[in-house]
Amino acid sequence: MAITSRTSATSATGSCDVPQPPAEVWRALAVLEPYCSVCDVSYDLGGAAGAPGVGTTFVCAPGRLEGSPAAGSPQGEIVEWEPTRLVTTRLRLTPETWTTRIELADAAGGTRVTITITHEPTTGGRVVRRLQRGALRRLVQRTVDAELAKVPAHVERAGRAA
């Protein structure tokens, strides 16, 4: 696990190995489905046609969506997309932006999943950010750890759906 901080952004990285091949892990982690039962989150692609890729936008909402997402729901965008290898999404909330980078690589008998999460505040001054730095480092690292812990459940769910 690695934690880094720039002036205003804090990042953490972690990895885990799963026994499934990269293509199967890709389907489980990179493809935005309308509802993810592992995370209890819904994604609304706004009727976007075609396969996702760089520039695809989405809205993220907690729970199962019934209808359109609420006004003010977090807005996301795919900013990097290399099928079966790399996906990066950026999620904008009012006071902050969260960027999640998922990299997949062949590993002995399966796939190595590396997740990097970057938090960047969009409000508050330099003094406030400095005071919050330690707490943000811990939050970002806990978020990476939690996402890595969910990887096997995501892969299992996607395997059942296939």
The residues, ordered by sequence, that sit 6+ positions from 91 with a Cβ below 8 Å of its Cβ are 60, 74, 75, 76, 97, 98, 99, 100
Q: Which residue from 78, 75, 65 is spatially nearest to 32, judged by alpha carbons?
A: 78
Domain span at residue 148?
A: 2-31+80-161
Task: Examine residue 119 and state whether it is found in any structural domain, yes or no.
Answer: yes
Note the pLDDT of residue 7.
Answer: 56
Task: Examine residue 108 and state whether it is found in any structural domain, yes or no.
Answer: yes
Task: Examine residue 144 and state whether it is found in any structural domain, yes or no.
Answer: yes
Task: Examine residue 59 and state whether it is found in any structural domain, yes or no.
Answer: no
Q: What is the pLDDT of residues 17-62, one digit of tens each?
A: 999 999 999 999 988 888 889 999 988 887 666 678 898 999 988 8
Q: Which residue from 45, 50, 18 is spatially nearest to 32, judged by alpha carbons?
A: 45
In this predicted structure, the answer to whether residue 80 has a pLDDT above a threshold of 90 is: yes
d(CA 150, CA 162): 19
Lowest-pLDDT range of 1-10, 69-78, 98-107: 1-10
Note the pLDDT of residue 52.
Answer: 84
In this predicted structure, the answer to whether residue 101 has a pLDDT above a threshold of 90 is: yes
Q: How confident is the model at residue 127 (pLDDT cuts 50, 70, 90)?
A: low
The residues, ordered by sequence, that sit 6+ positions from 159 with a Cβ below 8 Å of its Cβ are 20, 24, 28
Task: Examine residue 45 and state whether it is found in any structural domain, yes or no.
Answer: no
Region 13-18 average pLDDT: 96
Residue 142 or residue 66, greater confidence? 142
In this predicted structure, the answer to whether residue 117 has a pLDDT above a threshold of 80 is: yes
Task: Examine residue 73 and state whether it is found in any structural domain, yes or no.
Answer: no
In this predicted structure, the answer to whether residue 136 has a pLDDT above a threshold of 90 is: no
Q: Which residue from 75, 19, 16, 14 is spatially nearest to 43, judged by alpha carbons?
A: 75
CATH number, position 23:
3.30.530
Region 1-20 average pLDDT: 79
Burial category of 16 from C-beta neighbours within 10 Å (exposed 0-12, middle 13-18, buried 19 and up): middle
CA distances for 27 relative to 12, 69, 130, 156, angstroms: 24, 24, 39, 11
Mean per-residue pLDDT of the chain: 87
Contact 41, 59 (CB under 8 A): no
Task: Examine residue 72 and state whether it is found in any structural domain, yes or no.
Answer: no
| Domains: count for the chain | 1
Note the pLDDT of residue 77.
Answer: 94
